Amino acid sequence: MAALKPTLVRGGLESLYFTGAHHLLKPLVGGVGAILTLHHVRPGRPGRFQPNRLLEVTPRFFTRVVEDLRRSGVDLVSLDEMHRRLTEGDFARRFVCLTFDDGYRDTLQIAYPIMKAEGAPFAVYVATSFPDRLGELWWLALEAVIARNKRIGLAIDGRNQTFDCATVGEKRALYEELYWWLRARPAEPEMRQVVRDLAACYGVDIAAFCKDLCMDWEELAQLAADPLVTIGAHTVNHPMLAKLPDKAARSEMDLSRSIIEAGLAVRPAHLSFPIGDRTSAGPREFAVAAELGFKTAVTTRPGVLFPQHRNQLTRLPRISLNGEYQRLRYVRVLLSGSATAMWNGFRRLEAA
């Protein structure tokens, strides 16, 4: 979804809503339930250069979404309950799972009290290098480098290049260009090294993002102690798994589960693939997650759940609550399955 132009997406969501097409399509494409993806829930911040704003929604919007789901009569369920319904074919009522990726502190401080007040279960997928304070939130380091400088230099394909980024427009364009160039690097270590070098060169402390934004083990333990909360695995280092060699990919998934078990005394039964698009998780990752015994694994590929997903439990689609589209009507259209059905060419399951 990140690759679709925001104006196109917004236009599509609006037209589905205002034409009422999402109601007409619902019996065909609505499926039996859905999994929502969230990252940050926190108040909006000033500043026009916020390339990662899609990863955050405001507490007010989040509260309205949860209330709207409650009012619409869907069941808010845990991942275990979703797994039970899918495997037993219990589709008497539509259900939604709320999931939070990465383990940000605002999940504990802001989202948790809202969910607690509603008595609603949710899951947090933790990349264990984040509470261990060794993680690299490289997309934020890139943002900071561009935000704090008027011009930056970078060797691309062996050639030194300079980029102007004095204005907000230039910063946005440069972030977009460099972000997707980095994402296209064939190997994860190369990508990380480029960002590390950039950060070092421009005085950005990559490690600080973890400390400032992510829960530590004590904070995670507070969440883990509540039966409403499922702690899931999200690898150790948050890599694009599909770009790693076999052994490394497997160990990222397996080790993160053991580290969480050691830290929180709960063994995660559910996994979220970092980044989670086609370039990050593919057939090999789906197979390994199943072999390792995860009950479910989720991607970020957009879609609602159908009964047939019982045969694809380690490649479940999700619907992102995107900070660029904080309108209840967009969420309603997305949960109706009509928008994602169009994006997926009306296929219920992904082609292998």
Burial, 52: exposed, middle or buried (Cβ in 10 Å; 0-12, 13-18, 19+)?
middle
Q: Which is nearer to Zn ion, 56 or 102 (CB)?
A: 102
Segment near Zn ion (CB under 5 A); pick from 3-11, 59-67, 95-103, 282-290: 95-103
Q: Which is nearer to Zn ion, 74 or 251 (CB)?
A: 251
Q: Which is nearer to Zn ion, 101 or 254 (CB)?
A: 101
Number of amino acids touching Zn ion (CB under 5 A): 3
Residue 200, classed as helix, strand or coil, is: helix
Segment near Zn ion (CB under 5 A); pick from 99-107, 171-179, 284-292, 327-335: 99-107
Among 56, 75, 101, 143, indicate the residue that binds Zn ion (CB under 5 A): 101
Tell me: does residue 277 bind Zn ion (CB under 5 A): no
> Minimum CB separation from Zn ion for residue 30, in Å?
27
Q: Which is nearer to Zn ion, 171 or 238 (CB)?
A: 238
Which alpha helices (DSSP H) does the chain contain, by range? 6-18, 21-29, 59-71, 79-88, 105-106, 112-118, 138-147, 168-183, 188-201, 206-213, 217-224, 246-264, 283-291, 328-336, 338-343
Q: Which is nearer to Zn ion, 274 or 323 (CB)?
A: 274
Cβ contacts of 341 within 8 Å, gap of 6 or more: 25, 28, 29
> Minimum CB separation from Zn ion for residue 113, in Å?
22
Among 75, 102, 188, 254, indicate the residue that binds Zn ion (CB under 5 A): 102
> Minimum CB separation from Zn ion for residue 125, in Å?
7
> Minimum CB separation from Zn ion for residue 102, in Å?
4
> Minimum CB separation from Zn ion for residue 319, in Å?
16
The conformation of residue 99, written as its DSSP 8-state character, comes to: E
Segment near Zn ion (CB under 5 A); pick from 5-13, 21-29, 102-110, 252-260: 102-110
Q: Which is nearer to Zn ion, 102 or 188 (CB)?
A: 102
Burial, 11: exposed, middle or buried (Cβ in 10 Å; 0-12, 13-18, 19+)?
exposed
Total length of the chain: 352
The pair of structure tokens assigned to 41 is 């829930």
> Minimum CB separation from Zn ion for residue 234, in Å?
6
> Minimum CB separation from Zn ion for residue 147, in Å?
21
Q: Name the one residue in this structure whose structure tokens are 């899918």.
A: 86
Interaction with Zn ion in 25-64: which residues (CB under 5 A)? none
> How many whole angstroms separate alpha carbon 12 and alpha carbon 309?
26
Nearest to 259 by CA among 106, 141, 127, 98: 127
| Cα 126 → chain centroid | 11
Q: How far is CA 214 from CA 62, 137, 140, in A?
A: 19, 10, 13
Residue ranges that bind Zn ion, judged by CB under 5 A: 101-102, 274
